[in-house]
Amino acid sequence: MNECVIVIFGITGDLAKRKLIPAIYHLIADKKITNVAIVGVGLEDTMNVSSILTAARPFIAHPDEEIMQYLSEHMHYQPMNFLDTASYAGLKKSIEQLEKKDRLPGNRLFYLASAADFFCTITTALGDSGLAQRLTEKQPFWHRIVYEKPFGYDLSSAHVINTCIQKYFDENQIYRIDHYLTKELVSNIALIRFTNCIFEPLWNNQYISQVQVILSESGGIEGRGLYYDGYGALRDVVQNHMLELIALIAMEAPTKLTGDFIREQRARVLEKIIMVDGMRGQYSGYTEEKNVKANSTTETFAVLQLKINNPRWSGVPFYLKTGKKLDKKETIIHIKFKQVDCLLMRGCPIESNWLTLRVAPDATVSLSLNAKKPGKSDEIVPISMEFSHSAVFGNPGSEKSYETLFEEVMRGEQSVSVRFDEIEYAWRVIDMIDKARLPLYSYAPGSCGPTEVVQFESKHGMRWKS
Ligand code: BG6
């Protein structure tokens, strides 16, 4: 199943050199792909296979020359304008030649690492040219199309793309991917919840008082001004990564812990999210970044309070915080349990329990409990029980998102892909936030965000857990 042609639209872009080519390199190195041809499609006439691999090399740690040589022999560069539908015949010919040369079985993975504006045109051309076909069960090969985020700009544009691509392909061939769904700890959330009977009885508004999801980045926009200034933090990471984290935390038990069963339950949560409050921020110096408008009001930071309008979560606030150029790089989920009645003679009130799922930079799960301080006293102190991925499995468990993504698409596993309705529900939340016209404050790079966050905290009687 992993013998295939991988066609990357946008091979000369940032994502291809930083993530996609290194991921393919590692899959070859780990022998997870044994026979592959890579076709890179890009606009530039001046690029070639050698310049593409040279650009990707710094993002591959200690490249092995034999594998680099394999890549250069099995990669083909096709310069073409994605909008020129006539040129897809030439692309088809190149792919067929490569399949013949490398005796590939006809499996094709099309990776659209281009702007969402091109998704409909490229998909239409793939379908019309026969490069990718709607398949029946009987065909011994597969054709799958991967759409990189952001999938649209708002609900209506996402709906237009969905309608367009569904004319050509079945939902089981379509992968609207979110690399967060492949992160070790993220794919573990549902498993931890549903394979341990100690969590599920407590997983509701009777016992949980709030949830915090924090995606904090120390880096800035890293030369991506043209893209970022049009999207901002809400569209760049909230619409996808953060809402999917909430969906996984809040979903009901799926019939089975796979593919469409999980997607169905994630969709049911996203459908019920409402926006309650929030504020936005922009780091000072942002408007001097390359390709950013001098008067830009695009947010590089946001805090939000969302709620989920269903019986399980009614009344529980879900707090989100994200930002670029903050004091640290960390993605973390804190789940706060309600306080117990204090039966002690003294030393009350005691701490609530927190379950903390740290997604990155390393994967850990910790549970804070209350215990007696050693000695005779009945003084209570918080203690922590921790599972660390690196301590148990020998690696941090967070670095292989794009490799896992390719593997899962090649396997046909759809839980890494966001279903058509899920993505529209998530955009609906962003539309709701847009309508609220949240205020924008400035913050110093390297800080925890705008100082006004304190007002948000006191208004909601909460504190961000550090
Ligand atoms: C990407 C965003 O989807 O996710 C980036 O476009 C962001 O702006 C990145 O930096 C964060 O992903 P990770 O895996 O580094 O946490």
Output the tens digit of pLDDT for each of the chain's 466 residues: 589 999 999 999 999 999 999 999 999 999 999 999 999 999 998 999 999 999 999 999 999 999 999 999 999 999 999 999 999 999 999 999 999 999 999 999 999 999 999 999 999 999 999 999 998 777 889 999 999 999 999 999 999 999 999 999 999 999 999 999 989 889 889 999 999 999 999 999 999 999 999 999 999 999 999 999 999 999 999 999 999 999 999 999 999 988 889 999 999 999 999 999 999 999 999 999 999 999 999 999 999 999 999 999 999 999 999 999 999 999 999 999 998 887 766 667 788 999 999 999 989 999 999 888 888 777 888 899 999 888 888 776 666 789 999 999 999 999 889 999 999 999 999 999 999 999 999 999 999 999 999 999 999 999 999 8
Give residue 178 CA to ligand 1 midpoint distance, Å: 10
360 C-beta closer than 6 A to ligand 1? yes
What is the per-residue pLDDT for 165? Answer: 97
Q: H/E element holding 51?
A: helix 49-56
**The two structure tokens encoding residue 99:** 């399949």
15 C-beta closer than 6 A to ligand 1? no
Q: Which residues contact 295 (CB under 8 A, 6 or more apart)?
A: 287
What is the per-residue pLDDT for 396? Answer: 65
What is the per-residue pLDDT for 259? Answer: 84
- The residue whose CA has the least distance to atom 12 of ligand 1 is 180
What is the per-residue pLDDT for 374? Answer: 86
Sign of the alpha-carbon dihedral angle for 226, 231, 233, 236: negative
Shortest-distance atom of ligand 1 to CA 221: 8
Active site residues: 241
A 10 A CB-CB count for 385 gives 9
Give residue 359 CA to ligand 1 midpoint distance, Å: 13
Give residue 237 CA to ligand 1 midpoint distance, Å: 7
Residue of 217, 328, 332 best suited for mutating to test ligand 1, as the one with most atoms within 8 Å of CB: 217
What is the per-residue pLDDT for 62? Answer: 92
- How far apart, in whole angstroms, are the C-alpha atoms of residue 13 and residue 41? 10
Q: Which residues contact 141 (CB under 8 A, 6 or more apart)?
A: 105, 106, 107, 108, 135
Give residue 370 CA to ligand 1 midpoint distance, Å: 35
- What is the Cα 264 distance to its own chain's centre? 18
429 C-beta closer than 6 A to ligand 1? no
Give residue 351 CA to ligand 1 midpoint distance, Å: 33
Shortest-distance atom of ligand 1 to CA 360: 16
Q: Single out the residue of 73, 3, 82 nearest to residue 41, CA to CA.
A: 82
**Global model pTM greater than 0.85:** yes
Shortest-distance atom of ligand 1 to CA 180: 14
What is the per-residue pLDDT for 134? Answer: 92
237 C-beta closer than 6 A to ligand 1? yes
217 C-beta closer than 6 A to ligand 1? yes
What is the per-residue pLDDT for 268? Answer: 98
